A and B are shown apart, each in its own frame.
Chain A
Amino acid sequence: AQSVTQLGSHVSVSEGALVLLRCNYSSSVPPYLFWYVQYPNQGLQLLLKYTSAATLVKGINGFEAEFKKSETSFHLTKPSAHMSDAAEYFCAASNFGNEKLTFGTGTRLTIIP
């Protein structure tokens, strides 16, 4: 079964600093990979998606992620953090032909003024 691991349940960065949130998947077959963002008491909003096209994926709000098959990783980055980026971020995966979405446990991002 597919599993998703997010290293670091809490990440704090200063405003303007680089944001790096880590995600690793378990499947031997590259899955579809997603990053979602969740603000307090809200649903999940899709940030970006990898669907076997370009390995560097750009999303909304200046975020991007790079798919690395050799490392089974899909880390999320943003060059310069903004206060509005403070939220919970979830990495998720699904396999081709199986629409079940499996989520990681999430990373809470705090931005320090």
Chain B
Amino acid sequence: EAEVAQSPRYKITEKSQAVAFWCDPISGHATLYWYRQILGQGPELLVQFQDESVVDDSQLPKDRFSAERLKGVDSTLKIQPAELGDSAMYLCASRGDIDPWAFFGQGTRLTVV
């Protein structure tokens, strides 16, 4: 069964360092999402791509976060510099053109120390 791949699964980084997460969506899925989930809360959308274009990044803290999907396939989410409050689970999801539901990866658990 096709899956959304994310790496790394866990990341510990020091405050003020740069960190990057990678996501490979299900093949053929044009829509890709990055969500942030703080412990004990629901996922919140950071950025949504349609192919290589950003559809919604209204909740992305653009002073420190950036996201790209250069060839419309895999995607990278970067944080620079990381802050203590960025500690969270970062979830990637993808969605096909026909079915309105999204498939999620296993997530990257980020701890900023």
Q: Which residues of A are at the interface with B, using a C-beta cutoff of 8 A? A: 32, 34, 36, 41-46, 49, 51, 90, 94, 96, 99-106
Contact = CB atoms under 8 A, between A and B. Distances in A.
Given A42-B107, A99-B95, A106 B42 contact: yes
A101 B107 contact: no
B88 interface: no
Does more than half of chain B's interface fall in helix, strand or loop, or is it mixed? strand
Interface string B30-51: 0101000000111111001010
Interface of B: 4, 6, 31, 33, 40-45, 48, 50, 55-56, 89, 91, 93, 95, 100-107, 109
Contact of A100 (B45, B91, B101): B45
Given A32-B101, A36-B104, A49-B101, A43 B91 contact: yes
Contacts of B42: 90, 103-106
